[in-house]
C-alpha cells in the first residue's frame, strides 16, 4: 500500500466525505496542493496522519535571507487562491457531519473544529455517556423544536424501565369517570389495545398512573389456536370489558403455569403461575358497578393487568429459566 493510501484510510469518515466534496470543486493543480497540505496540517490537528507543514507556511532554510514580496518572487511556493478558505471550510464540514448524523462527535473532533467560545458547552454534552443518557441526532432535535414530544395518554405502550410501570396507580374519583379526561384515557387504552391486537392493557402502560384496565379476547383470536391448546389453556372469547378501580378476589387457589408475554417487555416471554379462577369488581366506563367471575385464560389476563396497577411485571413472578426471546431462532438463521 502506498503512503497516500495509508493516510486516506487513517482519516475519519466525515473528513473523507468533506475532502471528496472539496476535490470536486477545485482544479487539478489546486487539488494536488491542498491535498498535500491536508495530509500534513489537517491530520496533525485531528491527531492522525503525517506531521507535515502546509507548503505556504514552510520555514526558510537555515541562513537564508528574508526576501519580501517587493524584492522579488518568494522562495517558497505561493498560496493558491481560495485554497486556504477551502481548507477551512473542509475542516468545518468534517467536524459538523458527525453533529448531523450521530448527535455529538468525540472530543478529538471537537478540539479542532469548534470555536473556543462554544467548545466548553458542547464538550460538556459529549461527556454525558452514562446509561441513562439519550443521544439524539441533530435532525431529531430540530423536529422536537417544531413539534413537541407526545404526552400521556400515549398512542404507544411504555417499555420496561419507564418509572410509570413500577409505581402504584392511583384510584379514580368515581365522579370523574364520565368526564373528558378519564374518557380520553379509556378511549386511547382500547384503541391501542386493538391496534396492537393484544388481549389486555392497563392505563400505566400508556403513561397514565390510574387504576384502569381493559381486556378483550375476540372469537377469531380463540379460533386461531388449535383445539388442544384451547382446552389446555381454558381459552374462551371475552367481549370488551373496562374496569375502573378494580378489586380482585381469588376463587380457586390452585395455579397453572403457562407462557406469558407483555407489550411492555416487547419480544420476550416466560412461564408464569396464575390462579385458576378469580373475581373482579369495580366500575365500568359509565361509572356503573360491575362484577365478573373469570376462569382459565381470562382469569390469567385479569391477574396480569391487575399486577400492572400495582407496579408489578410478569418478570417478577416468572420462572426465570423459561425467560425467552421470542425471536431467538431468527438470530441463529
194-208 per-position pLDDT tens digit: 999 999 999 999 999
Residue 306 predicted with pLDDT over 50: yes
Query: Which residue is it, cell 425467560?
Result: 323
User: Is 36 contained in some domain?
Assistant: yes
Catalytic residue among 181, 239, 305, 330: 305
Q: Write the CA distances from 85 to 51, 81, 163, 332, integer angstroms.
A: 21, 9, 51, 52
Residues 326 and 191 in one domain: yes
pLDDT at residue 125, as a whole number: 44
Q: Tens digit of pLDDT for each residue in 208-236?
A: 999 999 999 998 888 888 988 888 888 99
Residues 177 and 319 in one domain: yes
Is 239 annotated in the active site?
A: no
Q: What CATH number is associated with residue 279?
A: 3.90.45.10
Residue 322 predicted with pLDDT over 50: yes
Residues 37 and 12 in one domain: yes
Choosing from 126, 149, 172, the residue where a domain stops is 149
User: Is 31 contained in some domain?
Assistant: yes
User: Is 158 contained in some domain?
Assistant: no
Largest interatomic CA distance in the chain: 107
User: Is 250 contained in some domain?
Assistant: yes
Q: Tens digit of pLDDT for each residue in 134-157?
A: 666 778 777 777 888 888 999 999
Residues of the chain with pLDDT > 70, as a percent, come to 59
Residue 126 predicted with pLDDT over 50: no
pLDDT at residue 150, as a whole number: 85
- Across-strand partners of 294? 278
Residues 185 and 289 in one domain: yes
Residues 210 and 264 in one domain: yes
User: Is 105 contained in some domain?
Assistant: yes
Residues 126 and 233 in one domain: no
Q: Strand, helix or coil at 321?
A: helix
Residue 123 is part of which domain span?
1-56+81-149
User: Is 298 contained in some domain?
Assistant: yes
pLDDT at residue 6, as a whole number: 45
Residues 45 and 101 in one domain: yes
List the Cα angle 239/231/243 in 5-degree steps.
Answer: 25
pLDDT at residue 110, as a whole number: 38
Residues of the chain with pLDDT > 90, as a percent, come to 48
Other beta carbons within 10 Å of 232: 14
Signed CA dihedral, 101, 105, 110, 112: sign only:
negative
pLDDT at residue 18, as a whole number: 55
Choosing from 121, 149, 177, the residue where a domain stops is 149
Residues 130 and 20 in one domain: yes
- Number of domains comprising the chain: 2
Q: Tens digit of pLDDT for each residue in 155-192?
A: 999 999 999 999 999 999 999 999 999 999 999 999 99
User: Is 66 contained in some domain?
Assistant: no
Among the listed residues 273, 328, 267, the one whose alpha carbon sits nearest the alpha carbon of residue 304? 273
User: Is 128 contained in some domain?
Assistant: yes
Residues 28 and 99 in one domain: yes
DSSP 32: H
Residues 141 and 172 in one domain: no
Residues 203 and 97 in one domain: no
Residues 118 and 207 in one domain: no
Amino acid at each position: 500500500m502506498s503512503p497516500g493510501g495509508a493516510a486516506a484510510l487513517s482519516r475519519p469518515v466525515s473528513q473523507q466525505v468533506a475532502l471528496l466534496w472539496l476535490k470536486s470543486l477545485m482544479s487539478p493543480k489546486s487539488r494536488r496542493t491542498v491535498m498535500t497540505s491536508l495530509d500534513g496540517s489537517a491530520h496533525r490537528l485531528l491527531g492522525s496522519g503525517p506531521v507535515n507543514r502546509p507548503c505556504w507556511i514552510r520555514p526558510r532554510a537555515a541562513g537564508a535571507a528574508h526576501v519580501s514580496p517587493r524584492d522579488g518572487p518568494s522562495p517558497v511556493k505561493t498560496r493558491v487562491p481560495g485554497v486556504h478558505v477551502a481548507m477551512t471550510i473542509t475542516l468545518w464540514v468534517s467536524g459538523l457531519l458527525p453533529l448531523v448524523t450521530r448527535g455529538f462527535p468525540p472530543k478529538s473532533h471537537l478540539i479542532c473544529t469548534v470555536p473556543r467560545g462554544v467548545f466548553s458547552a458542547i464538550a460538556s454534552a459529549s461527556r454525558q455517556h452514562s446509561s441513562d443518557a439519550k443521544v439524539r441526532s441533530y435532525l431529531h432535535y430540530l423536529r422536537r423544536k417544531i413539534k413537541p414530544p407526545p404526552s400521556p395518554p400515549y398512542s404507544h405502550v411504555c417499555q420496561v424501565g419507564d418509572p410509570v410501570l413500577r409505581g402504584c396507580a392511583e384510584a379514580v374519583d368515581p365522579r370523574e369517570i364520565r368526564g373528558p379526561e378519564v374518557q380520553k384515557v379509556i378511549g386511547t387504552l382500547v384503541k391501542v389495545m386493538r391496534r396492537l391486537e393484544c388481549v389486555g392493557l392497563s392505563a400505566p402502560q400508556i403513561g397514565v398512573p390510574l387504576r384502569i384496565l381493559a381486556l378483550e379476547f375476540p372469537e377469531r383470536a380463540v379460533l386461531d389456536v388449535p383445539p388442544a391448546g384451547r382446552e389446555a389453556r381454558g381459552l374462551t372469547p371475552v367481549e370488551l370489558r373496562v374496569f375502573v378501580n378494580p378489586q380482585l378476589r381469588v376463587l380457586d387457589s390452585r395455579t397453572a403455569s403457562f407462557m406469558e408475554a407483555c407489550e411492555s417487555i416487547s419480544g420476550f416471554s416466560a412461564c408464569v403461575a396464575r390462579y385458576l379462577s378469580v373475581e373482579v369488581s369495580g366500575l365500568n366506563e359509565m361509572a356503573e358497578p360491575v362484577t365478573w367471575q373469570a376462569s382459565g385464560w381470562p382469569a390469567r389476563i385479569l391477574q396480569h393487568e391487575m399486577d400492572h396497577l400495582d407496579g408489578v411485571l410478569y418478570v417478577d413472578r416468572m420462572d426465570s429459566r423459561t425467560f425467552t426471546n421470542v425471536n431467538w431462532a431468527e438470530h441463529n438463521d
